[in-house]
Structure 1
Amino acid sequence: MKLKCIAAVSMLAGAGSAFAQTNVTLYGVVDANVEYVNHVGAVPQATNGFNPGTANSAYRMGSGGLSGSRWGIRGTEDLGGGLKSVFVLESGYAADTGVGQQSGRMFGRQAFVGLQSAGLGQLTFGRQYTSMFDALANFAPASYATLYEPTVLQNGGNYREDNTIKYTGQFGPLSAWAHWSFGVGLTQPQVAAGVPAVGGNGEVPGQFRRDSAYGAAAMYAVGPFAGTIGYDQWNPSIGIASGSVKKASVAASYTVGPAKIMGGYRWGQSKNATDVVMLRDDYYWIGANYQATSALGFTLEYSYDNLKNLYGNTNAANPWQIAFISTYAFSKRTDVYLSTAYSKNAGLTLDSLATGYLTSLSLGSSYVLPSGGSSMLGVAVGLRHKF
């Protein structure tokens, strides 16, 4: 009997030691706002003849002003010898309705598992952000705020990809990313006559290239200076073949006291299955963050897209936007904010035919210019809590 008790105590002690090496965290963000937008049209689709209709003003409650509302679980297990297993499961939802986002996926923001080495880096498998998206996050003035940063125009609608193998490494001041997706899992519907629907689930037998994607990026940061360079390519389905969506970027930032100034350039080119150019543009941005006090912060951002070819139109008006954000933190977890933006020749977030109206489609709130419209103004006040 005594031996049995000793064995039981030993097993419990061993279990406690094993569990002590595992770390699992529940986390999330709840972000809701009330917004006014003018000159709003409908998302073009076949059912309305690809006609955005007349201008209207919108007064609405939305989810995700500074951060997309989400909840997630992440964890690590120490495997010994400097090796850890890692995982992340992250779900997006609309705080105003409770409805799941990312096309109703349970873990549509991120879902991956992998191994992490103290000296060699991290290798992960699943639904993940692209390399260029991760690298440019440090140079996006509004930190990819849902209102009103042009994240889709900058990174492409494929900035999250299914079926992805990704490497992340940190070597002193140098950070590196590289990824490959066997099938991106993004479908962009037809939004104009003559413009094809693109994308799909990928991983088609006998068509290895179809819906695949890959990219790489690097960032160097030392002292007040940081710089990055990146490349991203997606080969979406177009009919039974595949086209190509290519992007390359460079960006830099410099910190002076409570201010951080940043800017960048992104080259873009999309071709259809017969190698005909659908979109060719040069996108530029510049902005700054200023922390006036420990609680009060400001962000200013200007974005400009030089449209060289938009589905055969070489004289399309170039979209631009200026955005301003003010935040006040009650604590490390809770803050309030004012976001406002004015766009020209595109809707807010620079959503337009050039982005396939993906921002409006994914949010369920239109930022589409009406027929004959050329500008849009938006103002939102919101509350965010992080846990």
Structure 2
Amino acid sequence: MKKIFNAAAVAGGLGVIAAATSTAHAQSSVTLYGIIDAGVSYVSNSATPAGHASLVKYADGVASGSRWGVRGTEDLGGGLKALFVLENGFSSADGSIGQGGALFGRQAYVGVSKNGIGTLAFGRQYSFSTDYLGANYTTGSQTPAGNYGWHINDVDQLSASRINNAVKFSSANFSGLTFGAMYGFSNRAGAFAGTPTVTAGGASQQGASSAYSFGANYAQGPFGIGAAYTNIRYPNGATPPFSVSIANVNTGGLRDLETYGIGARVAIGAGLVWSNWTHTTFEPLTGASSRLNNYEIGGRYGFTPALAAGLGYTFSDLDDRFSGKWHQVTGALDYALSKRTDVYLLAVYQIASGSNTVAGRDVPVQAQIGTVPAMLGTSGAGANNQVATRVGLRHRF
């Protein structure tokens, strides 16, 4: 009888341990995820040493940047959770690491969240220009146009504004309203006190990069509206440097990159309409500042649960010092083969006008589709427009 009792006690104890282990596992989770986007692109005019020529190329990460990542959470009790994200960008073309070779260049942060309050996170994170405006109110995010649909070279930080050394607070959802603020440290002595300029022999030099950003977003039912502000000091001093190249603007030695904007969208049946406006100021180390305004409107319609089409128009206007103007029309067709795999077709047209006086002569503004010059390149000397098409395959895991 005693042996039977002991056996029952041992079995009961094992059951309690198993239950506790199961509960602990249920309260913590780690997930591996990713996207691979690949396809073939064509552009009518791409810069060459002699001028311009057409280009057909394998292009990776257009609709979505190819990536893999790990995210996890741990329930600490009382509505409090610990969390982390490590996300790597890569090229499916040659297997190389993206974001300047950083192992987790897309995102790398750890933080805590509290139900009904929000999340406080530490590490490399997106600004609110990307979180609120770029993710909700753009042709680049609402269709597979992706990097071909963003504003010129993403100088307004809507696509991939990642801030190093950042402390970021993102609020909980209060009946559709979310808001937040962040600061990215330069990690250089004196910069936080407001004296980041480095001088050598009386000449201004590139300083250490720091940033701050804040924004708010409201989404309830079919309607959404958001606004954001991001200011990056010495963007070229970041690691990796920010891509802020734009025709006729010297962005190789910026003291400050400031951008703010507003966006809105409304769902109508199977359709969605959005618009946004952004204003970006480039302040160089020396000389006058330049300003770029982007105005965008677009829409998407779902013909079936699997088939959708989108169309967007953007007008980009550089201030009168440079007289640059760009008109871009972007079309996209997307077909879902499954919940995780889709094929898509893109067609983009951009035309540029205006010129800038360089070395005593007028240099025409060039067309430039894509968030970075290397994606398709500028249109080249003697051409002021680009036509780009693409067929792509995207898989999420």
The TM-score normalised by the length of structure 2 is 0.80
Matched, 1:380 2:393: no
Matched, 1:259 2:265: no
Task: Name the structure 2 match of 1:245.
Answer: 257
Instruction: For structure 2, list consecutive stretches of 5 or more residues without a partner in the other structure.
Output: 1-5, 197-207, 238-252, 353-365
Secondary structure at 1:122 match in 2: strand
Partners in 2 of 1:237 and 1:75 — Cα distance? 30
Identity across matched positions, percent:
34
* 1:29-79 Cα shifts (integer Å, max 9, x gaps): 11111111121015xxxxxxxxx6410211111112311111111111111
Matched, 1:347 2:367: yes
Partners in 2 of 1:178 and 1:16 — Cα distance? 37
Secondary structure at 1:171 match in 2: coil
Partners in 1 of 2:327 and 2:130 — Cα distance? 21
Partners in 2 of 1:104 and 1:305 — Cα distance? 31
Partners in 2 of 1:245 and 1:368 — Cα distance? 22
Matched, 1:35 2:19: no
Structure 1 residues 168 and 69, CA, compared in 2 at 3 Å: closer, same or farther?
Answer: same
**Which amino acid in structure 1 is aligned with residue 221 of structure 2?**
G
Structure 1 residues 237 and 17, CA, compared in 2 at 3 Å: closer, same or farther?
Answer: closer
**Which amino acid in structure 2 is aligned with residue 263 of structure 1?**
S
Aligned residues: 343
User: Counterparts of 1:38-57 in structure 2 under 5 Å?
Assistant: 38-41=44-47, 53-57=50-54
8 Å contact 1:262–1:286 — kept in the other structure? yes
Task: Name the structure 2 match of 1:281.
Answer: 292
8 Å contact 1:341–1:348 — kept in the other structure? no
Task: Name the structure 2 match of 1:19.
Answer: 25
Structure 1 residues 259 and 98, CA, compared in 2 at 3 Å: closer, same or farther?
Answer: same
User: Counterparts of 1:1-387 in structure 2 under 5 Å?
Assistant: 11-41=17-47, 53-136=50-133, 137-143=135-141, 145-150=146-151, 152-155=154-157, 159-169=161-171, 170-183=173-186, 203-208=187-192, 209=196, 210-236=208-234, 243-274=255-286, 276-309=287-320, 314-345=321-352, 346-349=366-369, 359-360=372-373, 364-387=374-397
* 1:136-181 Cα shifts (integer Å, max 9, x gaps): 1110123071233326133278711111111111211111121110
Structure 1 residues 29 and 268, CA, compared in 2 at 3 Å: closer, same or farther?
Answer: same
Structure 1 residue runs of 4+, over 6 Å off? 1-9
Secondary structure at 1:277 match in 2: coil
Partners in 2 of 1:140 and 1:372 — Cα distance? 31
Task: Give, in angstroms, the shift of residue 242 of structure 1.
Answer: 7.2
8 Å contact 1:115–1:122 — kept in the other structure? yes
Secondary structure at 2:63 match in 1: coil
8 Å contact 2:69–2:86 — kept in the other structure? yes
8 Å contact 1:168–1:177 — kept in the other structure? yes
* 1:154-213 Cα shifts (integer Å, max 9, x gaps): 327871111111111121111112111013xxxxxxxxxxxxxxxxxxx22233344110
CA-based RMSD of the aligned residues comes to 2.4
Partners in 1 of 2:338 and 2:131 — Cα distance? 27
8 Å contact 1:83–1:117 — kept in the other structure? yes
* 1:356-380 Cα shifts (integer Å, max 9, x gaps): xx612xxx43421212320111110
Partners in 1 of 2:284 and 2:149 — Cα distance? 29
Secondary structure at 1:228 match in 2: strand
**Which amino acid in structure 2 is aligned with residue 204 of structure 1?**
R
8 Å contact 1:211–1:242 — kept in the other structure? no
Partners in 1 of 2:297 and 2:111 — Cα distance? 35
Task: Name the structure 2 match of 1:47.
Answer: none
Partners in 1 of 2:235 and 2:174 — Cα distance? 37
8 Å contact 2:210–2:232 — kept in the other structure? yes
* 1:273-306 Cα shifts (integer Å, max 9, x gaps): 35x4332121111101111111110111111111
Partners in 2 of 1:132 and 1:171 — Cα distance? 20
Task: Give, in angstroms, the shift of residue 11 of structure 1.
Answer: 4.6
Partners in 2 of 1:76 and 1:58 — Cα distance? 45
Structure 1 residues 86 and 6, CA, compared in 2 at 3 Å: closer, same or farther?
Answer: same
Secondary structure at 1:135 match in 2: helix
8 Å contact 1:64–1:147 — kept in the other structure? no
**Which amino acid in structure 2 is aligned with residue 141 of structure 1?**
T
**Which amino acid in structure 2 is aligned with residue 107 of structure 1?**
F
Partners in 1 of 2:92 and 2:333 — Cα distance? 21
Partners in 2 of 1:237 and 1:142 — Cα distance? 23
